[in-house]
């Protein structure tokens, strides 16, 4: 065994450890996001408004975007939700820290793709890379001054994934909170609860998303999913119900999660977006409910089977009982539905079927204003 080599390795380890800024982890829970700016790979060092002195005060920041427990944020999702570009772009994440005295902090970072860091307007780190994010893949010690310090993390995006991870350690430093913007209006300044603190449990219904007008295309869609299936659902002005179908493993060679298909469902009579129209993402029930003055449509995904469910009930049509077999309870359910002008809702033990080509009887039933894509113990509406 080479004793000299071991001592050299230990000394090197001590030097590396000694170079890091001392102190406890700094709780960085949110970042402010800039608009997305057009970017090309050859323009890594190009300066944009957040780092230009004459323009930085005019930047419209999206304040208080949450980081997860590992200090990471999915920039692609955040920009897509805001209707901003998600390819060949650059975005800045801003963090404001308050230091009790001049000193150093240690940054542990990751990014997809490249990363540049600015502290109080000075470029302190840069890595022009086209890569996927790996936790803590970049390290840097940076100087802070007493009082407020503005940190900018500029993250470039060529294509595919786009994300940032930020963690920090240091003594006598804390984050200056900013108001979080939820949607187009209103703010929520509440910070995440401290570890071990009591959590107030409330019902999720108060957070249901409700819209009262149709959408022109998928940019106005509601998300719903279960298992490994996800949908983007929207209702067009024509009254057609549309959704994109995706799976969690449908990645392409560029790392993009693709939609596998688009489904369009027409109703007769059509949904009327002008007549008491409302569609709601019901978080507690895990479904999207769409209503006009005559019809109610529910869209959901089975948690235990790769099945998309579309249930419909109408006041203007009359469901008919199928002549095909089935249990007595199924036939009774059909007779009951015919009397009440509603479809029997599936129970947890109902036999479920995926969206498929309608049967002849289903096509006849459409003239009565009722279609369905599920079975109820052998009964088909």
- 339 vs 262, residue with greater confidence: 262
Quick check: 33 pLDDT over 80? yes
Q: Are 235 and 271 in contact (CB under 8 A)?
A: yes
pLDDT at 199: 55
Are the CB atoms for 155 and 133 separated by under 8 Å? no
All domains of the chain, ordered by start, with CATH? 22-183 (2.60.120), 206-366 (2.70.98.50)
Q: Average pLDDT for residues 349-377, to the nearest whole number?
A: 38
pLDDT reported for residue 35: 94
CA distance 8 to 82: 53
| Residue 190: predicted pLDDT | 43
Q: What is the pLDDT of residues 172-212, one digit of tens each?
A: 999 998 754 433 333 333 445 455 555 555 567 778 888 88
Cα–Cα dist 248/72, whole Å: 20
pLDDT level of residue 228 (50, 70, 90 thresholds)? confident
| Surface-to-core class of residue 86, CB atoms within 10 Å of its CB (0-12 exposed, 13-18 middle, 19+ buried) | buried
Predicted confidence at residue 187, as pLDDT, reads 32
- Average pLDDT estimate for 86-90: 92
370 vs 288: which has the higher pLDDT:
288
pLDDT above 50 (res 366): no
- Collapsing DSSP to helix, strand or coil, 266 comes out as coil
Q: What is the pTM of this model?
A: 0.47
pLDDT at 220 over 80: yes
> What is the predicted pLDDT for the residue at 197?
57
Q: What does pLDDT average to over the chain?
A: 76
């Amino acid at each position: 065994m080479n004793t000299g080599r071991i001592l050299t390795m230990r000394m090197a380890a001590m030097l590396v450890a000694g170079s890091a800024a001392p102190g406890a982890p700094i709780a960085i829970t949110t970042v402010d996001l800039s608009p997305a700016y057009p970017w090309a790979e050859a323009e890594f060092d190009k300066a944009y408004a957040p780092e230009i002195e004459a323009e930085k005060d005019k930047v419209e920041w999206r304040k208080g975007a949450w980081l997860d427990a590992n200090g990471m944020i999915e920039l692609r999702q955040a920009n897509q939700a805001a209707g901003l570009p998600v390819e060949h772009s650059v975005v800045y994440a801003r963090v404001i820290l308050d230091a009790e005295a001049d000193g150093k902090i240690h940054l542990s970072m990751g990014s997809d793709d490249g990363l540049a860091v600015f502290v109080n307007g000075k470029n302190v780190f840069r890595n022009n890379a086209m890569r996927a994010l790996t936790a803590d893949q970049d390290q840097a010690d940076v100087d802070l001054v007493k009082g407020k310090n503005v940190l900018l993390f500029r993250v470039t995006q060529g294509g595919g994934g786009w994300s940032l991870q930020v963690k920090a350690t240091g003594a006598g430093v804390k984050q200056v909170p900013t108001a979080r913007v939820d949607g187009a209006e209103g703010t929520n300044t509440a910070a995440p609860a401290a570890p071990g603190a009591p959590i107030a449990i409330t019902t999720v219904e108060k957070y249901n998303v409700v819209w009262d007008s149709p959408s022109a295309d998928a940019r106005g869609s509601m998300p719903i999913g279960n298992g490994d299936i996800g949908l983007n659902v929207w209702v067009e002005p024509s009254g057609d119900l549309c959704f994109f179908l995706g799976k969690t493993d449908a990645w392409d060679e560029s790392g993009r999660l693709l939609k596998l298909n688009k489904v369009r469902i027409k109703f007769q009579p059509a949904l009327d977006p002008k007549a008491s129209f409302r569609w709601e993402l019901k978080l507690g029930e895990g479904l999207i409910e769409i209503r006009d003055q005559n019809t109610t449509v529910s869209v959901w995904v089975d948690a235990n089977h790769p099945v998309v469910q579309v249930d419909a009930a109408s006041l203007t049509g009359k469901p008919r009982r199928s002549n095909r077999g089935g249990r007595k309870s199924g036939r009774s359910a059909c007779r009951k539905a015919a009397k009440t002008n509603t479809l029997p809702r599936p129970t947890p033990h109902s036999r479920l079927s995926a969206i498929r080509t309608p049967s002849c009887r289903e096509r006849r039933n459409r003239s009565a204003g009722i279609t369905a894509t599920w079975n109820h113990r052998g009964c088909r509406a």
